[in-house]
Amino acid sequence: MGGMPDVAVVFSVKDEQLAIHESNCIGIPVIGIVDTNCSPAGVNFPIPSNDDSQKVIDFYGNLFNKAIIAGMKFAMSRDGVKKEEIDNAVNSHSKKTPTTKD
């Protein structure tokens, strides 16, 4: 990782209280899946959903992955990076990120 992350994503607010607390302490916004048995305290962008379902976790993981790739492509294109370099960067990111079926 090259520096501080822009955002922290937690898939279980109940189980990731330490990550939420640490992110809050250093000013990193938190996106979190918040089940009905959890408090959204400390989560800047709560997503009300069932955090016990693997299908839900896969869905949001895939959604975040696609959004990150789209953002990378947009930012690099805007900054004048050549298409071949964008494709290499995206492929490098995709290899590091576990994917699920669409």
Q: What is the pLDDT of residue 69?
A: 87
Order of strands across the sheet that contains 45-48: 8-10, 30-34, 45-48
Kindly indicate the confidence band of residue 102, based on its pLDDT and cuts at 50, 70 and 90.
very low
Tens of pLDDT along 75-90? 888 999 888 888 888 7
Tens of pLDDT along 10-67? 999 999 999 999 999 999 999 999 999 999 999 999 999 998 889 999 999 999 989 9
